[in-house]
């Protein structure tokens, strides 16, 4: 008997039957229509009977979809992605500053009269930006 009940329950759970959900509709103070799963307090709202669409059945030949990240894993993934973008941008800025520093050194070395103090300062800046 328990096996029959279990089989019936699992068939019902996996059949993709549309599920009803409570949705409320009302107009806010500015006249806009608002929909929510909770009725507002102090405002008369119309309760709508909404049926959720059944979930699509998984295609056995398709690769399994990765579960969406939540909580700390989602924050870490977002943080890692942003850090990657920042690192790429910093690399671009460093390369541009290195090119500019090399150009400054060349101009100062070929200047007439040559100012050795400025050349040494420009070489130090070039070393800082072009170090790898």
Mean pLDDT to the nearest integer, 15-24: 58
Render 52-85 in DSSP notation, one character per residue.
PPPPPPPPTTSPPPPPPP-HHHHHHHHHHHHHHH
Report yes or no: 13 and 7 within 8 Å, Cβ to Cβ.
no
Given this model, what pLDDT does residue 106 score?
A: 94
Task: Let me know if residue 107 belongs to a domain.
Answer: yes
Report yes or no: 79 and 111 within 8 Å, Cβ to Cβ.
no
Taking only the tens place, the pLDDT of each residue in 92-116 is 999 999 999 999 999 999 999 999 9
Task: Let me know if residue 13 belongs to a domain.
Answer: no
Q: Is the overall model pTM greater than 0.75, yes or no?
A: no
User: Could you list the residue range(s) of the whole structural domain that residue 100 is in?
Assistant: 71-131
Number of domains in the chain: 1
* 18 band by pLDDT with thresholds 50, 70 and 90: very low
Task: Let me know if residue 98 belongs to a domain.
Answer: yes
Query: In terms of pLDDT, which residue wins out, 18 or 35?
Result: 35
Given this model, what pLDDT does residue 20 score?
A: 55
Task: Let me know if residue 62 belongs to a domain.
Answer: no
Taking only the tens place, the pLDDT of each residue in 22-73 is 777 878 888 888 877 777 888 888 887 766 666 666 666 666 667 777 788 8
Task: Let me know if residue 81 belongs to a domain.
Answer: yes
Task: Let me know if residue 1 belongs to a domain.
Answer: no
Task: Let me know if residue 89 belongs to a domain.
Answer: yes
* 15 band by pLDDT with thresholds 50, 70 and 90: very low
Task: Let me know if residue 103 belongs to a domain.
Answer: yes
């Amino acid at each position: 008997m328990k096996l029959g009940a279990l089989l019936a329950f699992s068939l019902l759970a996996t059949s993709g039957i549309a599920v009803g959900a409570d949705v409320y509709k009302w107009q806010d103070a500015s006249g806009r229509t608002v929909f929510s799963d909770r009725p507002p307090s102090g405002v008369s709202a119309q309760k709508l009977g909404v049926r959720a669409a059944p979930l699509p059945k998984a295609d056995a030949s398709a690769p399994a979809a990765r579960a969406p990240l939540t909580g700390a894993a989602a924050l870490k993934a977002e943080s890692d992605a942003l850090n990657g973008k920042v690192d790429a941008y910093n690399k671009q800025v460093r390369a541009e500053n290195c090119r500019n520093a090399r150009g400054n050194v060349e101009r100062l070395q070929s200047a007439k009269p040559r100012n050795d103090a400025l050349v040494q300062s420009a070489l130090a800046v070039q070393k800082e930006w072009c170090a790898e």
